[in-house]
Structures are given as C-alpha cells and as structure tokens.
Amino acid sequence: MTKSLFHILIGLILISACQSKNNKLIVIEGEAQGTTWHISYISEDGLNHKQAIDSILKDIDLSLSTYVPVSIISRINNNESDIRVDTYFIDVFNKSMEVSQKTEGFFDITVEPLVNAWGFGFSKKANIDSTRIDSILQFVDYKMLKLDGNILIKQKKEIQLDFNAIAQGYTVDVLASYLNKSGIENYLVELGGELIAKGKKNAQSWKVGIDQPTQNTSPERKLEAIIELNNRALCTSGNYRKFYEEDGKRFAHILDPRTGFPARQNILSATVIADDAMTADAYATAFMVMGLERSKQFLEKNKDLNLEVFFIYDENNTWKTHTSESLKNRIKQVN
C-alpha cells in the first residue's frame, strides 16, 4: 500500500502575469525523499527560504525515513531500546491510526515487511507464495501498535512501520506551516506530486494538472485534468508508474494489507483534495486499495471528512472518471 519512492508527477501550471512593485514571485526547488520539491510564493521582502526548507526536510528524514538508518522509524523497526519519538513521528502516527480505523484497515502503516518481501522497499524481492504471505501477515496489523507518551509499543518485535504512504503529504503540511509562520500568505508547495495551496497568484487561484495514468516509462506527462486549488491540499496515488512484471503478470507497488498481495482494483489514479496534505495522501492510498465502489460508499458515509476526489478508473478497458460534485466547477478535463 505504500507509495515508497513512487510519485505521481503533477505539473505545476503557473499563470503568467506581472507582479506588483511590492510583491515578488519567488520559486525555489530541490531534492528530498527520493524525489523533487518546488515551492512558489509571493513575497513582499524578497527573502529566499531555501536554506530553512532544506533544514526542515533533513529533520523530517531523521524522524520518518526508512531509508535513513539512524532515523527514529528505522531504529524502531530494528527494535533498538529507549527510542523516544519526536513531534513529527507523533503527528504522522496519530493520523495513520485515525485513517486506519476509519477505513477498517485498508490503510495500515505496518506493511513494511510486505513492502520488502515484494521488492518495493530496500530489500530484494523474496520468493512469494501464499504460505510466505501468511507468515508475514501475522505481523501486519495497526491494532498491534500503541503510543504511550513518546514511546511506541509494539506487541510483536517483528512488526515494522512504513510511513511512505503519508509522509510526503505530511512534509508538505510542515513546509506550509513554516511559510505561514514566516508571514507568507500566498504560496504553492509541492513535493513528489503532493501539494498544498494558499491564497492567490495574481488574484487567481493556483492551478495544478493531474497526469494521465499511462504505464509507459517516458518522462513526458500528458495531463488528464486541471484543477483550481483554493486553500486546500491535493495528493494523488496510482499503480501505473511503479511496478514490475514477472511470468507475464504485472505487480504494482500498492499493497492490500488485508491480503498481503498487490491491490487489484479498477482505480488507476486516485486524487484526493482535503484540508491538509497528510489526510489527502493517506486517503489517496486507501482508495486505491478499496476500489471504486467501496470508495464511493466510504465518501458518502463520511461526508464530515470534507474530502473531494477525482478518480480515473478502468471499465472494460476504457478509461472513465468519477468527480466529486463539489469539485466539478473547479476542474477542467483536458481530453
């Protein structure tokens, strides 16, 4: 179910216009978490915040990245003693538990052993059969975790965590919080295709593009739709970029934590808009596992979450889309 290093690359569509004398559009970018990040913001003082952003990104990796051996999550997975978690870890853990409970386990951060077994983590693919999967599944269950203050308690030492399906969204929220505290009121933050927008750019809403879910490896992206983003976050999850083929079968990276196997649903791409990117990120992954009909039922039942969605799905080898009613006046399909 984790997105790992897989990212839906969403094109940033910036509307060209002249800036006022007192405002300046600042664009900064870099690399982090195995992908790229871009931030555009309107500044009155012209300050470049890249150094501070880079520092924040390093701190987050030291907490949440399974690819950093000395990170908090890596040390917990290795069962080191006396590990105290930080605020970053607590925020992501609590949201993960909330989403897991809401989705009845379709989202689960204890999938790390499965991710590695299938070869989507930092381990080579194991020999997979139902017996192997069953042996792993006894250690996959978010209910076997408990946070006591700043100490994480695992019921079984073999349990391992993976925040990759939520950490990038959370990182976007942290960067947005930094900009807010810096007095910046108009910005677009993007990391690995996960986004959050605030305010306006030249008196117009920020606009972002959603990729077509093509399965080729070409660096060129074709847009399926363009969405206006008004003080909201947007995250996309999909199965069409990170996969491998074996014996004529395609295995995608988003895993179903209930079965232990790659999710085989008809949703090709799930875009979720929420008040914060961490929430959007987690539910985008959960909906990929749920499939179209179950996701629609979930959204109808949980209107209080204030989620909007744009699903691209396959029906008898034909692409179709499902759009939340409230989103239809802010989305334009390209084709």
Q: Is 243 helix (H, G, I), strand (E, B) or coil?
A: strand
CA distance 323 to 114: 32
Please give the Cα distance from 119 to 245 (Å, whole number). 12
Per-domain residue ranges for the chain? Answer: 12-56+184-333, 61-154
Q: In whole angstroms, what is the distance from residue 335 CA to residue 325 CA? A: 19
CA–CA separation, 211 vs 2, rounded Å?
Answer: 19
How many whole angstroms separate alpha carbon 59 and alpha carbon 167?
A: 13
Q: What topology is assigned to 61-154 in CATH?
A: T-fold (1.10.3980)
Give the separation between CA 325 and CA 296, rounded to whole angstroms. Answer: 12
SS3 158: coil
CATH assignment, 12-56+184-333: 3.10.520.10
* Cα(281)–Cα(237) distance, integer angstroms: 8
Apex CA 60: angle with CA 58 and CA 64, to 5°?
Answer: 125
Per-residue pLDDT of the chain (335 residues; tens, 9 = 90+): 444 333 333 344 343 333 444 688 999 999 999 999 999 999 989 999 999 999 999 999 999 999 999 999 999 999 999 999 999 999 999 999 999 999 999 999 999 999 888 887 656 666 778 899 999 999 999 999 999 999 999 999 999 999 999 999 999 999 999 999 999 999 999 999 999 999 998 888 999 999 888 755 555 668 889 999 999 999 999 865 544 444 444 445 689 999 998 887 788 899 999 999 999 999 999 999 999 999 999 999 999 999 999 999 988 889 899 999 999 999 998 86
Name the one residue in this structure whose structure tokens are 């929430």. Answer: 279
